[in-house]
Structure 1
Amino acid sequence: MIKRRRFLNVATSGISGFSLAYLLGSCSEQRQQNAASNTTVISSSLSIKTKVLRMGYQSAGDLVRNRKVLEKRLEPMGIKVEWAQFVQGPQLMEGMAARRVDVGAVGETPPIFAQVAGSDLVYVVGTQRNATTGKSSVIAVPPESRLEKFEDIKGQEVYFQKGSASHYFILRALQSIGLTIKDIKIKSIPTIEARAAFLEGRIPVWMTSDPHYAIAEKMGRIRVLRDSVGLDSPGAYYIADRKFAEQNPGVLKIIIEELNNLDKWAEANRDEVAKLMISEQKLDEDVVARVMSRRTYAGRRGLSPALIAEQQRVADLFFQAGVIPKKINIEDALLAPDLYAAITPPEIMV
């Protein structure tokens, strides 16, 4: 079990101050052993050994939880579904490292930081993206800010949760205008904790996403410098604890099937999705309208060689920028290809 302090050292250290160097060599060796053992995991019957599935979700809400699609499939099989809420992806990954979560949804960045910290995780399934994906994630300033364009961000304090998807967003956004992560002053704080200070004008630059973006927009307290459209993120993932995944491939198959079906339902029933946001997340109707205007349900994406290569590119960029202390291999956090083929619908293996 990875101790809490070790995970947080990696998730919040930025470009220096990592105290886990002594751990990484042994972790790399262990990951190589895990990769070798994966070839023996393949099972045509896709076994299920658990009686409880512990799902992690983030504070912005989860349609999977609200629709109870997993409960409908698993509870008749005698499997109970339990849900644990986390403020953002790094905290969810910490919970998984502490063996309090079996499966959870995060952006492209948290599993990379968790892998650096030695967490024994595996990627389960990815997310499709399209030309408009990224509209709901923004780098913003208060309306009265003197910063007029994104290039003015140089030298500014930028508030976001280190190790979250925002970390890759800011890295790529800066790179797109010829700057580096060293050209800003990072202040790490979860989005939900920073919102009140930003609305009061006490935060100069804030990285946020819906529904926080929509709430600030409704109040007239946000001006967007840029969104994350076009910054080539591979998208979000469902991640699993390796031991759970290897013992319960049948559960992973059900999760992927239900996620894929739910995306299709959500895109075809956007009004119903909006009603769930209002009732479950206690959001105002006009806030939900703003959220839904930017939200896409493009579908799931299997762990194909192309997606693995995209995620490796993200990990390599973090290493090259000095954000993580060691180059990692995404393949060390994968199940065997034959197992992915067995649990993933062929149409999403792109």
Structure 2
Amino acid sequence: MTHPSRRQFVARTLGAGAALALPAIGRTQARPVLKAGDQKGGLRALLEAAGALEGVGYDIQWSEFPAAAPLAEALNAGAVDSGPIGDAPLIFALAAGTRVKAIGANRSDAYGTAVLVRPDSTLKTAADLKGRSIATNRGSIGHYVTLKAITRAGLKPEDVNLRFLAPADAKLALTQGSVDAWATWEPYTALAEVSGHARVLVSGRDLLPGLSYLAATDAAIASKRAVLQDYLQRVARAQQWSYRNVDAYSAALARIIGIPPEAAKLQFERRQQKWVPIDAQVVADQQGTADFYRQVGLIKQPLDVKGTFDTGFALAAG
């Protein structure tokens, strides 16, 4: 049975998510419906900018989320069929019993997954975070990069004061001085840099594998496999288009998600995203993330990640 708070969450999400059905092409009777979750600056903006939804044979109902944690909650509740999620949030979702699998893998430069501080902050290195307050989303890639950064600097999780806030609240807390740092991801990192509100203290480059996924619920995989296969291929083709049309895509991204063009281009160019096959290296990197979360006590039981991938989905040819 769905917990009352989860029902309320789903109702809010679907009410505020501006669910849209794409224009019907041909006969609309009995068309499949894909309930697609998204995060700010994510797949919808990419697909629309690339014109990659032309001729789609199913309807898409979009729900946008500010971070991976509420998206994972929606997946768990069955409010969405699929959505983009980082490696660390996926571990949290799976450890919580969410019946979901990764059907596509994406690698990128992890620089923009970072711990930010105010421009005038005296903090210079990760070691300087000892005793300081850091805002981030629990279970997010921001949470993950924080723990990676401080443990590499010889600190323990209890050496910092983590405050779990949504991105908008975390940004406000940093700019107002109620926290010392904010651990976040793109496009929030680029937006904070371009606006002059923050600088990067520690980036995720060399700390994180730069993996994210297109995840889908077990139920959707069972009942909408062909739809999910088509959707993944459209996303992969749209990404290939975006790197052939950097200026056009950056401008469209800025317009669609409502951020300055220079921030859109900065976060896009430095991420260098690429959809890749789910191979042994992807699985090994994801296992490393799970093992690290177990090591620092964020998940209580060991998690074998091999069963959390569905490798039967093909990527579009380059």
Q: After TM superposition, is the score higher than 0.5?
A: yes
Alpha-carbon contact 1:116-1:324 (below 8 Å) kept = yes
Say which is worse superposed, 51-60 or 215-224, in terms of deviation: 215-224
1:59 lines up with 2:43 in the alignment? no
1:11-32: CA deviation from partner (whole Å, max 9, x where unpaired): xxxxxxxxxxxxxxxxxxxxxx
5 Å matches for 1:111-190?
111-129=90-108, 133-190=109-166
5 Å matches for 1:217-256?
217-256=193-232
Partner of 1:258: 234
Residues 1:296 and 1:68: Cα distance change in structure 2 (over 3 Å): closer
Unmatched 5+ residue regions in structure 2?
A: 7-29
Matched residues in 1 for 2:306 and 2:271: separation?
A: 30
Residues 1:346 and 1:64: Cα distance change in structure 2 (over 3 Å): closer
Alpha-carbon contact 1:234-1:311 (below 8 Å) kept = no
Residues 1:219 and 1:233: Cα distance change in structure 2 (over 3 Å): same
CA RMSD across the alignment: 2.5
Residues 1:157 and 1:68: Cα distance change in structure 2 (over 3 Å): same
TM-score w.r.t. length of structure 1: 0.77
Read off the aligned partner of 2:231 and give its amino acid letter: I
Report SS of the residue matched to 1:171.
helix
Alpha-carbon contact 1:141-1:205 (below 8 Å) kept = yes
Instruction: Give the deviation of 1:148 after TM superposition.
Output: 2.6
Alpha-carbon contact 1:191-1:207 (below 8 Å) kept = no
Read off the aligned partner of 1:323 and give its amino acid letter: L
TM-score w.r.t. length of structure 2: 0.84
Alpha-carbon contact 1:234-1:307 (below 8 Å) kept = no
Partner of 1:313: 288
Partner of 2:18: none
**Which among 84, 107, 127 is matched to residue 63 of structure 2?**
84
Alpha-carbon contact 1:3-1:98 (below 8 Å) kept = no
Matched residues in 2 for 1:5 and 1:53: separation?
A: 24
Matched residues in 1 for 2:316 and 2:301: separation?
A: 34
Instruction: Give the deviation of 1:97 after TM superposition.
Output: 0.7
Read off the aligned partner of 1:314 and give its amino acid letter: T
Matched residues in 2 for 1:117 and 1:3: separation?
A: 14
Instruction: Give the deviation of 1:191 after TM superposition.
Output: 1.4
Residues 1:4 and 1:109: Cα distance change in structure 2 (over 3 Å): farther
Alpha-carbon contact 1:69-1:258 (below 8 Å) kept = no
Read off the aligned partner of 1:58 and give its amino acid letter: Q
Instruction: Give the deviation of 1:70 after TM superposition.
Output: 6.0
Residues 1:156 and 1:312: Cα distance change in structure 2 (over 3 Å): same
Matched residues in 2 for 1:114 and 1:292: separation?
A: 27
